[in-house]
Structure 1
Amino acid sequence: MHSLFAEHTPGEGLKAADPATIPLPGPAGPPRVIEIGEITAGIAVPEGRGVRFFSSARDFDGLDGTLFRTAEQATRAARERVRPRAHPGAGQERAQLRRA
């Protein structure tokens, strides 16, 4: 059975990491914070061949966990969730026009 605890021998010190063994960011790059205006929408974290979006504000919870090809695509999706609020009442005017 494997132990969850590492064995430590007295006298062993910490060793510096070999730069060749440190994983470099993949094609998606490092994690990126996504801000829309002054709102922090979330963070895009590299995963596989894309980035996974983790929301940091309720307005973006609908995108939480979504996998995008690039951080730019995640940013565009977050921006689109804010855009409909730019003109409050615009949807109501259209609804009234359709009823007439």
Structure 2
Amino acid sequence: MHSLFADLTPGDGLKTADPASMPLPGPAGPPRVIEIGEITAGIAVPEGRGVRFFSSARDFDGLDGTLFRTAEQATRAARDRVRAHAGPRRDRVQLRRA
């Protein structure tokens, strides 16, 4: 039976990663959380020469898996999706012509 606990001796220590061997963020930068107002739309993860969008709310599932050139493009697409679902503003009074 396997144990969940490792057999460590006092001389064993945690090994730190060599910073030179760690991958650097690509031109797209680190992963970024995309928020539209108070809504967390998803995350933009660098991939190749762009970023891949992963939705975190059902309203943005249509964008899930889409590859964008930049995180800013992914943010614009999420913002446009919110605007499309909001429809016309109903709190404005519409005036009639006489």
TM range (shorter): 0.7 to 0.9
Say which SS state the counterpart of residue 29 (structure 2) adopts: coil
User: Which amino acid in the other structure matches residue 17 of structure 1?
Assistant: A
User: What is the CA distance between 1:78 and its match in structure 2?
Assistant: 0.4
Matches for 1:62-77 after TM superposition, within 5 Å: 62-77=62-77
Q: Distance in 2 between matches of 1:57 and 1:69?
A: 22
User: Which amino acid in the other structure matches residue 52 of structure 1?
Assistant: R
Say which SS state the counterpart of residue 20 (structure 1) adopts: helix
User: In the alignment, which residue of structure 2 is the partner of 1:29?
Assistant: 29
User: Which amino acid in the other structure matches residue 36 of structure 2?
Assistant: I
User: In the alignment, which residue of structure 1 is the partner of 2:49?
Assistant: 49
- Per the normalisation by structure 2, the TM-score is 0.74
Say which SS state the counterpart of residue 16 (structure 1) adopts: coil
User: In the alignment, which residue of structure 2 is the partner of 1:87?
Assistant: 88
User: In the alignment, which residue of structure 1 is the partner of 2:39?
Assistant: 39
Say which SS state the counterpart of residue 29 (structure 1) adopts: coil
| Structure 1: gaps of 5 or more residues | 1-9, 90-100
| Structure 2: gaps of 5 or more residues | 1-8, 91-98
Percent identity, aligned pairs only?
85
CA root-mean-square deviation: 2.1
User: What is the CA distance between 1:15 and its match in structure 2?
Assistant: 2.3
Say which SS state the counterpart of residue 60 (structure 2) adopts: helix
Q: Distance in 1 between matches of 2:29 and 2:60?
A: 22
User: Which protein has the bigger helix share?
Assistant: 1
User: In the alignment, which residue of structure 1 is the partner of 2:3?
Assistant: none
- Pairs aligned (count): 82
Q: Deviations over 1:28-63 (max 9, x none)?
A: 000000000111000000111110000011110000
Q: Distance in 1 between matches of 2:32 and 2:76?
A: 14
- Per the normalisation by structure 1, the TM-score is 0.72
User: Which amino acid in the other structure matches residue 34 of structure 2?
Assistant: I
Q: Distance in 2 between matches of 1:58 and 1:35?
A: 14
